[in-house]
Every structure is written in structure tokens, then in C-alpha cells.
Amino acid sequence: MSSTSYKTRFYDNYNAHFTYANPSTGLYSNYYDRCYNSLLPLLPNQARILDLGCGTGDLLTWLAKHQRFELFGVDLSRSQLERFTYSSEKIHVHVGDGLDYLQSSPETFDFIFCNDLLEHLQKPDLLNWLDSIFAALKPGGGLSCRVPNAANLTGLQLRYADFTHELALTSLSLRDCLEVSGFTRVCISPVYGSTFPATVRHLLSHYLHWGLYRLSGCGNESVFSRNICGNGWKPLGSSNYTAAS
């Protein structure tokens, strides 16, 4: 069985295997407020924003509250999109392959979100996707992607909790991938909860990891949260050849 066919079986029935918070609850909204509120002022009015692997549409729902963006989502899982109900005329969703969608949309988007997707790809495919994301962005456009962090001691749990995961990244390897694909002003940041207990856990975990890494001589890794977020920008005046060359 090919990798594509086994993944299709899982994606077609994703909701039977994984249960996430309903987008109508405050869980995702609080997370997005904390992670992205400082980003949105950088985007122009009527910015065209794409959510790759949009799933049940929690991010698009949150973005729609700001009422100044043209929003697009694409996901391979029909069952996920069937759970996404929306009323805004500024939200457009598509069932299909995200890579095909990107490659048919050169220099179309001002910003692209790619959360919990890259870890489902094999290494050659990962760079192909990043090159295609770069090409689908307008000059000056940006990317934000979230992936499990292999530098976290429990990162293997996230790596293998989903049978369709193919790889894991650290802050160092994610930065390398973004930069080799042409992105500049790359920033890798930790992802953690906003509640007081979550903050305490994050601080304790960070210093535990920091000490263990230094004792074992494991190098310059400095981001240890279970997930990490990478942001990068397509330079103004750049051509799509930059990423593909």
C-alpha cells in the first residue's frame, strides 16, 4: 500500500481517531489571541490569508472575527471540513491536496498558516511544500507553521501519537528548512498554554531541559516546548526562482 493511500484512509476518517476541542469553545480562541494578535497588525486590510490543512476551521473562524481579511482554507479530509460551519462570505474552503492548491496559486496570498501539517511529510516532500508555499506568497508575504518539537523529552509521544506523522523537527532544523526555502527574518518560538499552571509547567520544563542538554553536551538547542512555531517572510522584490533554485 502506498503512503498516499494509507494516509487517505486516516484522513477520510480523522474525526473517528482524534477528538479535538470544538472551535466554538474558548480553547483555540485564547491560544490564537496569544500567538497571533501581535501578527495581525502587520497584515494589510483585505489581506488574502490561507490556512493549509484547515481541518474543522478553528483558525479561520478566529480570523473571521477580525472582519478585514479574505480567508481561504484547504484540507484533504472531507470529514474534517464537514464539521466546519461558517456564514462569512469571506471564507472559502476547498477539499483537496494542499500542494496542488499551492502550485495553482502563484503569488496569491499575503500570509499562509501551516499548523500541524509539516510533520506529516517526508523530507523531500517537506522542502517541496515549503518551496510551493514560498511561491504562493506575494512578495513581502509571510508564513507561520507549528510542528511538534523533537528537542522536547516527550516529543516522541507527539511524533508517534498520530500514525500519519513522518518526521520531527527541532527549532534548529525548522529554521534551516525555512531559510533554505528562501524565507528571511525567520523566528522560532515556543508554544505553550496561557493559564498559570501551564506557564509554571513550561518554566519548569524549560529549565529541566536546559540543564539536561548542557550536562549531556547536546549543543545549542534552546527551545524545549512540546510544539514550536516558525515564522518567516518572503523578501520584497524576490522571485519564486529563489525558493526553487
| Arithmetic mean of pLDDT, 158-176 | 87
Confidence bin at 159 (pLDDT 50/70/90): confident
Q: Is the pLDDT of residue 137 over 60?
A: yes
With cut-offs at 50, 70 and 90, classify the pLDDT of residue 224. confident
Amino acid 24: pLDDT? 43
If one compares 155 and 237, the residue with the highest pLDDT of the two is 237
Higher pLDDT, 218 or 119: 119
Distance CA 139, CA 2 (A): 36
For 168-189, what is each residue's pLDDT tens digit? 899 999 999 999 999 999 999 9
Instruction: Please give the average per-residue pLDDT across 215-240, as a whole number.
Output: 82
Q: Does the pLDDT at position 86 exceed 60?
A: yes
Burial code (b: 16+ CB inside 10 Å, e: under 16) for 123-158 equals: eeebebbbbbbbbbbbeebbbbbbbbbbbbeebeeb
Nearest to 229 by CA among 182, 169, 158, 183: 169
Mean pLDDT score of the chain: 83
> Alpha-carbon distance 94 to 87, whole Å?
15
Residue range 28-33: mean pLDDT, rounded: 81
CA 78 – CA 203 distance, rounded (Å) = 39
Considering the entire predicted model, what is its pTM? 0.84
pLDDT bracket for residue 192 (50, 70, 90): confident
Q: Closest Cα to residue 8, out of 80, 58, 73? A: 80
Task: Lowest mean pLDDT of 27-41, 79-93, 135-149, 214-228, name the range.
Answer: 214-228
Mean of pLDDT values over 190-213: 73
Domains assigned to the chain: 3-244 (3.40.50.150)
Can you tell me which residue has the cell 476547498?
94
Report the C-alpha gap between 181 and 163 in whole angstroms. Answer: 27
